[in-house]
Chain A
Amino acid sequence: MNAKNKEFENITNDVNMVSEIIFQQMNLIDDYLSNVNNSDSETVNELLSNESKIDDYEKLIYDKIVNCIVLYNPLAGELRQLMASLRITTNLERIGDLCINIIESLESTNKKIIGEKIKTLFVDMLKFATLMVRNSMSSFICCDMDLAEKVLNDDDVIDNLNEKINNLLSEFKHNEAYSSKEELTNLLSFNYINMNIERIADNATNIAEASIYMMQGEDIRHTN
């Protein structure tokens, strides 16, 4: 295998590594929500330290991609692969940011008064978003067109869950007078968390679109 192919493989591996860290982040949030281990501060610290790892990886991947372009003047499929890698890295980094947003928001809520209903919905939505990210990454690594298209369609499921949560929250808004500042804060936080999980799913579809671009050469961004 020549130097060029090795370099391309390295970049794909690096992008994969970033996605692994992202999955870790999303698992940590899931743990937090499910109260698996009671040491919340440890979870938060892990999330934050992972985040800086993601940033480092992003810089590394960008450098490698620029290097490839300079040295190997890639064309056709190879060019598209690099461009896809670039887009996906950016999207993964954004997912990382969104995870941090979610965890910080969760920290600011009073866990004792998080309703079971909402918690379940969040957990479900998060699990599904995680699945979407996994699938979109698989479609990239394995060049699986069907999987990428599935991710695009799965966006509907997220939208569904998103709506359910919104409905729940507006019920809460309408039916109860705000008994405490805490409850209001929680409401706002839950809204925010909902939005962020939905954005994670959004980024997953972006990754799937980048994957499709790489495989097919058609740029289908902004058409759905």
Chain B
Amino acid sequence: MGNTINNNNIALHIEDLSIAYTKDKYAVKGINADIYKNTITAIMGPSGCGKSTLLRAINRMHELYPEIKVTGNILMKDQNIFKINAMEVRQKIGMVFQRPNPFPSMSIYENVLAGYSLNGIKLKKEEKDRIVQEVLEDVGLWEEVKDTLHKKRTALSGGQQQRLCIARSIAMKPDILLLDEPTSALDPISTSKIEELLMKLKDKFTIVIVTHNMSQAARISEYSMFMYLGDLIEYDLTKKMFTNPNDKRTEQYLTGKFG
């Protein structure tokens, strides 16, 4: 995969990561991988392969369920994310979920700034306005919502809601953005708008996206991971993996032998 890899290129270093739901049931087994900065990495695999579990461990969302045990390390900028404060991790590693979930009790303006307000970070009004406009422009929502920023309960379409959620995450200026099947609940046009958005955003962030849609992975990612039954089977440049995979199982998955 190239010899020019040094620590400056690596956004996340995943070391021997294993995740278990109960004592012997491992959802993720001994994953070793480096995620490169300013790239889009897709994690693919059939249902139950552990891809969402892996993703959620990166920003420690698995801790919502105390029965889940994680072993191994994930290093970000030489810091082990399991050793620092979970809330700090999540401010640096944002997440967008499968179903758009903007806060219903807040206006669009408040939603974008929710990361700041909920964390008690005070900002001046001019700064707030600037962040909101900048971020909404980044996600392509500004023109559509600039007149209803402060209205509570504005009706947004699924695609707009998801873009709002992305805006909310990137307003916190995270280093890494995690997305868990972000377009699987959306129509094709919204999906393609969001794919375009992600390709634009990778200049500013490192993006890791779980997707069950192989075409999507092919379209937007530079690197792809193929997982099966908790193991990382293959991790390579997307172009290479999709035309000439190394592992037979990857080949079988890509040609629809199991899914």
Binding site for B on A (CB under 8 A): 4, 73-80, 216-218
Q: A217-B243, A217-B244 are in contact. Are A76 and B256 (CB under 8 A)?
A: no
B215, A77: Cβ atoms closer than 8 Å: no
Residues of B within 8 A of A78 (CB): 255
Q: A217-B243, A217-B244 are in contact. Are A77 and B256 (CB under 8 A)?
A: no
Residues of B within 8 A of A75 (CB): 214, 218, 242-243, 254-255
Interfacial residues of chain B within 231-257, with CB under 8 A of chain A in the complex: 241-245, 250-251, 254-256
- Expressed in whole angstroms, the Cα–Cα distance for A76 and B226 within the complex equals 13
Chain B residue nearest to A83 (CB atoms) is B243
Chain A's nearest CB lies how many Å from the CB of B240?
A: 9
B251, A76: Cβ atoms closer than 8 Å: yes
Q: A4-B256, A78-B255 are in contact. Are A73 and B243 (CB under 8 A)?
A: no
Residues of A within 8 A of B214 (CB): 73, 75
Chain B residue nearest to A73 (CB atoms) is B215
- Expressed in whole angstroms, the Cα–Cα distance for A124 and B251 within the complex equals 43
Residues of A within 8 A of B256 (CB): 4
Chain A residue nearest to B255 (CB atoms) is A78
Q: A75-B243, A76-B244, A79-B243 are in contact. List 19 more A-B contacts (CB 8 A).
A: A4-B256, A73-B214, A73-B215, A74-B255, A75-B214, A75-B242, A75-B254, A75-B255, A76-B242, A76-B245, A76-B250, A76-B251, A76-B254, A77-B251, A77-B255, A79-B242, A216-B244, A217-B244, A218-B244
Chain A's nearest CB lies how many Å from the CB of B247?
A: 10
Chain B residue nearest to A72 (CB atoms) is B256
Chain B's nearest CB lies how many Å from the CB of A164?
A: 40
Chain B's nearest CB lies how many Å from the CB of A140?
A: 17
